[in-house]
C-alpha cells in the first residue's frame, strides 16, 4: 500500500559565534509525517541554543561547552514540545543529526534506526547506534519502563506490539516505554576522512556499511554519491522510504 513520503532531511550551512557549522540530518517518520516535519524545522535550533548552566557563563550556549549534554537536553525538550503541541504526534520519527564544526569536528546524535557512518582511508566506521528491540540492552530498557517486546508477523520485534525501535521522538501511545535519549559521539575530521553518510533505514535494510562504502568509492560529489546509494538500494529491493545525505571531504 502506497503512502506519502515520511522522510525529511536537513542540509544547511550556518555561522555561529565565529564558527562555520554544517548541519545535516535525516528524520524518518512513521505513522504520519508531522513529527519528522517538526524536527526538520526546529531540532537544530533547540540543540544550538540549549543552555543548562548559566552560573558559569550566562551568554554561552551549552553546545560549545558541553555538546553531548546539549544534544541530550535538546532531544528531550523537543520531544516534550512535540507530545504536548504537535498534531499527529500519535506517529513519530527517528532522528540522526550531525553538526560539523569548522570542518574539524563532527558531533553526531541519533535515536532509532536511521544511521550515520564515516569513511576514513576507504574504511567504514559506524558512528551511531541502531536502537532496535532485538538488542538485549535496548529490550531491558523497555521492560524496565513497564513495556514489552513481542515478535509480530514478518518476524519483526516490536515494542508493545507497535514500534519496531526502542527510541524515537513522538509516539504518544508508547511514550512511557521508550526513551528519546540519543546516542552521541564526537569524531575528529582529518586529512584521511573521505566522507560521512547519513541515511534512513530504507537504505540500511538492504545495504551493509561495507557495501555503502564500496558504492561511493571514487565518487567526489556528495549529491551524486547519495543518488548512487539510493539507486542501489532500490535495485536491491528496498520498499521503504529512502533518504540519504553524503558530505564529501577528500576523495
Q: Tell me the pLDDT tens digit for each residue of 95-134.
A: 999 999 999 999 999 999 999 999 999 999 999 999 999 9
Q: Is the per-residue pLDDT at 53 higher than 90?
A: no
Give the pLDDT band of residue 1 (cuts 50, 70, 90): very low
Query: What pLDDT does residue 2 have?
Result: 52
3-state secondary structure of 68: helix
Give the pLDDT band of residue 137 (cuts 50, 70, 90): very high
Q: Tell me the pLDDT tens digit for each residue of 147-203.
A: 999 999 888 999 999 999 999 999 999 999 999 999 999 999 999 999 999 999 999
Q: What is the pTM for the complete model shown?
A: 0.93
Across all residues in the chain, what is the average pLDDT? 92
Query: What pLDDT does residue 87 have?
Result: 78
Question: Which grid cell sits at 52?
Answer: 543548562
- Domains of the chain: residue spans and CATH: 7-248 (3.60.40.10)
What does the alpha-carbon distance between residue 161 and residue 71 come to, in Å, rounded to a whole number?
29
Query: What pLDDT does residue 154 have?
Result: 84
Q: Is the per-residue pLDDT at 88 higher than 90?
A: no
Q: What is the mean pLDDT of residues 241-245?
A: 96
Query: What pLDDT does residue 59 have?
Result: 56
What does the alpha-carbon distance between residue 48 and residue 37 come to, in Å, rounded to a whole number?
19
Q: Is the per-residue pLDDT at 24 higher than 70?
A: yes
Q: What is the mean pLDDT of residues 58-62?
A: 58
Q: Is the per-residue pLDDT at 227 higher than 80?
A: yes
Q: What is the mean pLDDT of residues 15-34?
A: 94
Give the pLDDT band of residue 60 (cuts 50, 70, 90): low
Query: What pLDDT does residue 189 have?
Result: 96
Query: What pLDDT does residue 90 have?
Result: 81
Q: For residues 116 and 28, is the Cβ–Cβ distance under 8 A?
A: no
Question: Which grid cell sits at 150?
Answer: 513481542
Q: What is the mean pLDDT of residues 22-38?
A: 96
What does the alpha-carbon distance between residue 41 and residue 10 come to, in Å, rounded to a whole number?
9
Q: Characterize 178-198 residue by residue with b for buried, 16 or more Cβ atoms within 10 angstroms of its Cβ, and e for exposed.
A: bbbbbbbbebebeeebbbbbb
List Cβ neighbours of 227 (8 Å cut-off, separation of 6 or more). none
What does the alpha-carbon distance between residue 136 and residue 94 come to, in Å, rounded to a whole number?
20
Amino acid at each position: 500500500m502506497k503512502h506519502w513520503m515520511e522522510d525529511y532531511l536537513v542540509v544547511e550551512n550556518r555561522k555561529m559565534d565565529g564558527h562555520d557549522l554544517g548541519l545535516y540530518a535525516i528524520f524518518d517518520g512513521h505513522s504520519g509525517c508531522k513529527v519528522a516535519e517538526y524536527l526538520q524545522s526546529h531540532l537544530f535550533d533547540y540543540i544550538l541554543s540549549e543552555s543548562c548552566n548559566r552560573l558559569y557563563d550566562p551568554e554561552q550556549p551549552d553546545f560549545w561547552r558541553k555538546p553531548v549534554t546539549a544534544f541530550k537536553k535538546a532531544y528531550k525538550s523537543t520531544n516534550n514540545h512535540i507530545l504536548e503541541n504537535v498534531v499527529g504526534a500519535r506517529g513519530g520519527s527517528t532522528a540522526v543529526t550531525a553538526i560539523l564544526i569548522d570542518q574539524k569536528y563532527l558531533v553526531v546524535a541519533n535515536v532509532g534506526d536511521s544511521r550515520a557512518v564515516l569513511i576514513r582511508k576507504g574504511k567504514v566506521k559506524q558512528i551511531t547506534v541502531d536502537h532496535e528491540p532485538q538488542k538485549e540492552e535496548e529490550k531491558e530498557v523497555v521492560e524496565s519502563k513497564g513495556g514489552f517486546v513481542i515478535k509480530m508477523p514478518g518476524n519483526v520485534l516490536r515494542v508493545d506490539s507497535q514500534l519496531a525501535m526502542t527510541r524515537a521522538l513522538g509516539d504518544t501511545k508508547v511514550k512511557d516505554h521508550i526513551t528519546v535519549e540519543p546516542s552521541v559521539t564526537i569524531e575528529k575530521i582529518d586529512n584521511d576522512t573521505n566522507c560521512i553518510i547519513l541515511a534512513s533505514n530504507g537504505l540500511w535494510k538492504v545495504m551493509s556499511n561495507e557495501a555503502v562504502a564500496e558504492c561511493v568509492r571514487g565518487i567526489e560529489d556528495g549529491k551524486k554519491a547519495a543518488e548512487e546509494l539510493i539507486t542501489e538500494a532500490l535495485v536491491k529491493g528496498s520498499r521503504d522510504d529512502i533518504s540519504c545525505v553524503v558530505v564529501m571531504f577528500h576523495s
